[in-house]
Structure 1
């Protein structure tokens, strides 16, 4: 009797001249042994949908793989994809469905037609990967869904700054927050255990992001417009310091606020996660992103 299920591929072992044995962990956390043709190419650590039939091989029950589809090639709903991601990988503490709701609420508030068209085009191009990728390989938000979680938290900080400093342009803040890290989906090799791509090593997400805005603006007929220049400056300067990847410091107020918000969320998220690992009355280990300082968890 055929059965279909999603499972994460743990190991591949060659067992004879024409077959491979796979060890997988299914969605229910059960481990299974699958048999697949030796010419099949599968990646350890990836999630697949397997269609199988039970067989007896050398007096042992196994499942023979009839078909398999990588999750990236499966047509499944966003919510279902994120459910599977949270089952098999270290995942954002906030569900990506929630992050998506927050991000799209703010993006819909953009009124400037040039900014809106550029942002919508880039967002739609990278939407699926944007909700899968981590924000980094280490230090902060380094887990599935980390990029969108980081972005959604930054979005929520906009309102407080706008209330206190109403001279800021809200459209630029929303756009800058969405676009500042979006090219990490190409800077990193994949969303599960990523490394830096060749482009990521030689260019980095800041340069890649500025280039993306340039190309999209050209396609949309907005290339020489001031809005495009301001967006590029925000991406170029959001790390502020040259040794952190920004060749320019901030020269518009929205770029400065983007830098502050990015810095606040990246550091506070790491601090929160570190404090959760110790008891009240203790000090944390030294924290690299906080100048290797040790923070006290008070008893209050």
Structure 2
């Protein structure tokens, strides 16, 4: 098994990968070709089939495990594979575990740590929200531990949603200690719940793709609906507190153009937005630098709108 993270420019390889994505296109001259996204547990790799009608290219579909033969090249600073031969692999020729990216950290350990923060919430109503999902709902707990935090960009691996949530809570712990204006109970509860909608927005691996509700509603709307489900089961839940908690979820992306229906209007919502944004960006940089182990300039990155480079020391 040649994992994607070990590939180098100039190599010719034959290996089996998950066909994460497939899209047919045409060159400027009208010649058909296929764009593929190949995946294993270490990452993804763009693939090109410049002659999809060749005898060496068998019929295949997205989500198939495919054996590919071709050359690894560099294009615009990124590795990709020019595929000369392709066939669908037979069951038993591959181990599905090799194709599911997972957190490098202990899922159970992270969940236990997250719950230690949850137990610090003293407000009885907010504590019941945490209990509703993170203690009493076994199906939610299983899904929350297994889900990624995103289809791509950051924490796009099994356990990524939990890892991201824990990191956000830790950022919030610092801010709650540094800024007494923040209500720790509200901030911790909002941080733990800010991405719960992703358990329904995204499907589990190996697909890790948007569900119908994910496409139509998105995780922010789904998350608020999930909070409503919990709040309805908690007698005499204060209406104002419910609105404040839901506002933190609604506003956690910070800007309308980033998918938040409202900008932060509470200090806790602003703190949550800062924590979410910081962890997402630092994890994205971590994954970029891990994929390109070099201290050279990496070229312009559209997400960060900057040329990126590792620190020299």
TM-score (norm 1): 0.68
Conserved 8 A contact 1:85-1:91: no
The corresponding residue for 2:130 is 119
Aligned counterpart for 2:226 among listed residues 186, 195, 212: 212
Q: Residues 151 and 298 (structure 1 numbering): CA distance in 2 closer, same or farther, change over 3 Å?
A: same
Conserved 8 A contact 1:85-1:144: no
Conserved 8 A contact 1:222-1:228: no
**Secondary structure of 2:122 counterpart:** coil
The structure carrying a bigger helix percent of its residues is: 1
| Cα RMSD for the two superposed structures | 2.6
Aligned counterpart for 1:166 among listed residues 180, 204, 228: 180
The corresponding residue for 2:307 is 294
Map Cα deviations across residues 210-257 of structure 1 (whole Å, 9 max, x no partner).
111112111222454322111100001111222222111111000000
Map Cα deviations across residues 48-89 of structure 1 (whole Å, 9 max, x no partner).
xxxxxxxxxxxxxxxxxxxxxxxxxxxxxxxxxxxx997662
Mind listing any 5+ residue stretches in structure 1 that lack a counterpart?
1-9, 11-42, 46-83
Give the Cα separation in 2 of the matches to 1:127 and 1:85. Answer: 23
Q: Residues 165 and 118 (structure 1 numbering): CA distance in 2 closer, same or farther, change over 3 Å?
A: same
More displaced stretch, 244-253 vs 96-105: 96-105
Give the Cα separation in 2 of the matches to 1:133 and 1:285. Answer: 31
Mind listing any 5+ residue stretches in structure 2 that lack a counterpart?
1-17, 19-62, 66-94
Query: In the alignment, is residue 240 of structure 1 matched against residue 254 of structure 2?
Result: yes
The corresponding residue for 2:84 is none
Map Cα deviations across residues 115-167 of structure 1 (whole Å, 9 max, x no partner).
01012102242111001000010111011110000011112222321222122
Give the Cα separation in 2 of the matches to 1:146 and 1:289. Answer: 20
The corresponding residue for 2:197 is 183
Q: Residues 226 and 105 (structure 1 numbering): CA distance in 2 closer, same or farther, change over 3 Å?
A: same
Runs (4+) off by over 4 Å: 84-88
Give the Cα separation in 1 of the matches to 2:250 and 2:234. Answer: 21
Conserved 8 A contact 2:254-2:273: yes
Q: Residues 173 and 193 (structure 1 numbering): CA distance in 2 closer, same or farther, change over 3 Å?
A: same
1:284 deviation in Å?
2.5
1:113 deviation in Å?
0.2
**Secondary structure of 2:284 counterpart:** helix
Conserved 8 A contact 2:125-2:237: no
Query: In the alignment, is residue 104 of structure 1 matched against residue 118 of structure 2?
Result: no
1:197 deviation in Å?
1.2
The corresponding residue for 1:203 is 217
